[in-house]
Copies of this chain bind each other. A is one copy, B any other.
Amino acid sequence: MPRTVDHAERRAQIAEGLVRVAAREGLHAVTMRSVAAESGVSLRLVQYYFQSKAELVHGALRHLERQSEERWSARLARLPRPVSARRFVESFLSEALPTDERGRAFHLVWTSYAVLAMTDPDLAEQPFVEGPRRLERQLADVLRQAQADGELAEDRDASAEAARLLALNHGLGTSVLVGQRSAREAMKVVRYHLDRLFETPARTSD
């Protein structure tokens, strides 16, 4: 067969095209044709690699999710040992914030999908409850480890703190995308929060 590129690779290429279109013009501008044009393939090819639009959208979402996971793992892996929880969390959150173009696209598309999932039951189940929930657990684990290391006060509720961090970050990210504040200002709020969280070990406060 005339396999110039791998099947999975082509699907990824098209999925990335979708992400670019969605990031630039919004998810409502995502059509079979616009994705095809953006990916540099014909309409027929999009149809071929994704049988329906629903599957295309679904596939692109999984693509995003996979990337997100890889980023988390990579970040966790290349951290200098011993790990400073404060620095890890800060760097993680700053990446989730739309600081660069890539982060902006990621956050925007993810949020678009989340809004879709609020009404479309087909999208709801899989990524939007399991993905963030897992992320929250992992973050809570990091915080618990920080408690064991004496870096975080013992009386903190690691789960609640993780939830707080992610919700805060998401909310700030949205405010940035909407143009309410700059990414720099958002980062300042994040640091303010982290200052309260990882306070001088003497005081057991936020």
Chain A residues in the interface with B (C-beta under 8 A): 23-29, 108, 111-112, 114-120, 124, 128-129, 132-133, 157, 160, 163-164, 166-172, 174-175, 177-181, 188-189, 192-193, 196-197, 199, 203-206
Kindly provide the distance from the CB of A19 to the nearest chain B CB, expressed in whole angstroms: 13
Chain B residues with CB below 8 A from A112, complex form: 115
Chain B residues with CB below 8 A from A29, complex form: 119
Closest 8 CB pairs of A and B: A206-B206, A205-B205, A167-B171, A26-B119, A196-B206, A171-B171, A170-B171, A128-B178
Counting chain B CB atoms within 10 Å of each CB, the highest count among A25, A167, A188, A189 belongs to: A167
Chain A binding surface SS class: helix
Kindly provide the distance from the CB of A147 to the nearest chain B CB, expressed in whole angstroms: 16
Whether A132 lies near B180 (C-beta < 8 A) is: yes
- The answer for the CA separation of A179 and B177 in the assembled complex, in Å, is 23
Whether B108 lies near A119 (C-beta < 8 A) is: yes
- The answer for the CA separation of A196 and B102 in the assembled complex, in Å, is 34
Chain B residues with CB below 8 A from A118, complex form: 26, 108, 111, 177-178
- The answer for the CA separation of A118 and B23 in the assembled complex, in Å, is 9
Whether A128 lies near B189 (C-beta < 8 A) is: no
Can you list 18 A-B pairs, Cβ within 8 angstroms, ordered by A?
A: A26-B118, A28-B116, A29-B119, A118-B177, A124-B179, A128-B180, A160-B188, A163-B175, A163-B189, A164-B189, A166-B171, A167-B175, A170-B171, A171-B171, A199-B205, A203-B205, A204-B205, A206-B206
